[in-house]
Amino acid sequence: MNKTNVTGTDGLPDMKSGDPGTRVNELRRIIEYHNRKYYIEDSPEISDSEYDQLYRELETLEALHPEMADPYSPTQRVGGKPLDEFGKVVHEVQMQSLNDIFDLEELYAFDRRVKETLAEETGAGTGASAGTNAYAGTGKVAGSDAGISGRPDVEYVVERKIDGLSVSLEYENGVYVRGSTRGDGFTGEDVTQNIKTIRSIPLRLFGRGSSLEYMEVRGEVFLPKKDFAALNAAQEEAGQPFFANPRNAAAGSLRQLDPAITARRKLDIFVFNIQQARGANFEKHSETLEFLAEAGFKIIPDYKICLSIDDVVREIREIGDARGKLDYEIDGAVVKVNLLAQRRLLGSTSKTPRWAVAYKYPAERKKTRIKEIMVNVGRTGVLTPNAVFEPVSIAGSTVSKATLHNLDYIRQKDIRAGDMVTVQKAGDIIPEVVESDAAARDGSERIFKMPLNCPECGSAVIREEGEAAYRCTGINCPAQLRRSLEHFVSRDAMNIAGLGDAIISKLLAAGLIKDIADIYLLPERKEELKSLAGMGSKSAENLIRAIEKSKANDLGRLIFGLGIRHVGTKAAQLLASKFRTMDDLMQAGTDDIEDIHEFGHITAESTAAFFRNPQTLEVTGKLKAAGVNMAAAAREVRGNSLAGKTFVLTGTLPSYSRSEAAAIIESFGGSVSGSVSKNTDFVLAGEDAGSKLEKAAKLGLKIIGEDEFKEMTNR
């Protein structure tokens, strides 16, 4: 949080009660207050460090007093376990969509239809309830019949149309109980835990909202522009498909089975409607927005009440002029009848309301000329072509380059260096080349070809079957060095404590390491280590001890640490078990590696090619010379009672980690597979076993627990 520092909490004093229960409740109340000030009202009152201190104190007290656990505590935003799949939620109030319009003529026609219908319906029976569902006419919130007789004057509310994913939030007695996606409008998916990770959503309501027995609201989940751009950059760098627009990104983020992944995506939300509420009474939509803001929701900002359709037009133009300056993406403006009784008279079709429309803005496009197509090498080794063109102003900013993603994209659009092209911003954020103008060519244009060698290090470039990305194969590629180092020292690899990202950055900046093998030369450069900013004598000594200790790691850790494409921790252990020494592995061909159970051709070929690379030979030679272990530990053989038997492990065992259980199985001649199939002999299941256990049951496989496993291995 980038907060200003002020004393006190505006009516919420930072009390320090001696009673833990009282203090926990105080802290929860204070933290929720500051969450609201920061995430919803955009008016922070304390600094980051002060907030963090309060948060850590609450975490500590809750850990010391588990009896005080509360699923709605601020510390439990990411408290759910990964799911196997999402459940279904039937929407009691249909979540309708809007009719889109694309010009002012259609907008004036909408206004005429509204007024003509109200004139015809004036004086008709009105029933007992007024709809407040912004996308349907059947919301369950009480309202009067004011404003539906006489001349049909119409107030409109104009709101920004957020480009995101529509969701429903449900509250009972002021407490958040469920969140779901729109789905088809009638049935959505239960994403309760994922929605809970969004910081701007209140887990407990404020003001009058806290006293309602039940309330359902509708909002739009979105990614802020900067986070959308960062997410796509990470996808591109990893060679993964990029998100086409913020809506696509929000949907993909919210539908992660692991809430922790959703939490890292930095989603946000604007709430714009009360679907239904028990005990609430409103006459206008604008009143419901005021109520929602009071209850603690982050509502659609800067909505405007317009008294005529001409006022609506002016507001739509103002929103359109400002859209490029907003820190979130909008794709239009929503125009709604404000008076709830009038909405009820206007009614809805089976899919859309007759009292609201969405005015959609056209994407701004400009023409420019591509000067050259350059290739960038990302941290994962993916080569990405980029168009560098003559600067052009689009959607409020000047752009001069755009990613061309991959060779297939370039060929599909027939883009050449020197082409006159049409450029726009995808989702008004990321520049993209829409099309090239073949008719404008004069013969000087140049067809792009992907380089055969990496422009950073000269290593061979490969494109694996079934992939769009081209990759550098060099282990010493400067573009990949930081990521290679971070991976090499990580816990599952060489596990070198004290060599985190910050120290790696300092070592690179000082020129002390140029490849992963240089890590093992650092003990000889102790004085230079000590001179690094923030290092000091003690830290340098600790780091040197950790480096020396890592030399004795098993071969499997080293293989994994080398960062071979497609080779994870399990595959690395299988390679170590099969070939026993680094020398033998480096001499192995694709066929030799493919003989390993669970190894496919792509992984085998990737591994063999990795060890044919001259850079790999150089680095492994340096590691060997530095005294790093190059052999697998001697196999522990306890018997052959499990020879020929295949196990699958799932869930958490009380006494063993999965790797320990796998080692025991292999010591008795058995093998461990990562997937359930008809060839599986036993499924060893612990607590929280998921889809593997369900599949095993369907196939009628033998499922055992830890006790039976101990009997089988005499442990």
Length of the chain measured in residues:
715
446, β-bridge pairs: 417
Let me know: does 148 contact 122? Beta carbons within 8 Å. yes
Please tell me which residue in 161, 304, 336, 692 is annotated as part of the active site. Answer: 161
166, β-bridge pairs: 220
Run of H or E including 435:
strand 430-436
Q: How many CB atoms lie within 10 A of CB 475?
A: 27
Residues 6+ apart with CB under 8 A from 664: 638, 656, 713, 715
Reply yes or no on whether 538 is catalytic.
Answer: no
Nearest to 506 by CA among 494, 498, 497: 498
Whole-angstrom distance, CA of residue 456 vs CA of residue 222: 37
Run of H or E including 390:
strand 382-394
DSSP code for 638 = -
Torsion from C-alpha of 145, 146, 151, 154, nearest 10 degrees? -100
φ, ψ (nearest 5 deg) of residue 121:
-90, -10
Count CA within 13 A, CB hemisphere, residue 707. Answer: 0
Let me know: does 456 contact 477? Beta carbons within 8 Å. yes
Whole-angstrom distance, CA of residue 695 vs CA of residue 709: 20
90, β-bridge pairs: 187
Whole-angstrom distance, CA of residue 215 vs CA of residue 279: 9
Any idea what the Cα angle at residue 15 is, between residues 9 and 16, rounded to 5°? 145
Let me know: does 133 contact 275? Beta carbons within 8 Å. yes
Which string of DSSP letters, residue by residue, matches 222-270?
A: E--HHHHHHHHHHHHHTTPPPPSSHHHHHHHHHT-SSHHHHHHTT-EEE
Active-site positions read 161
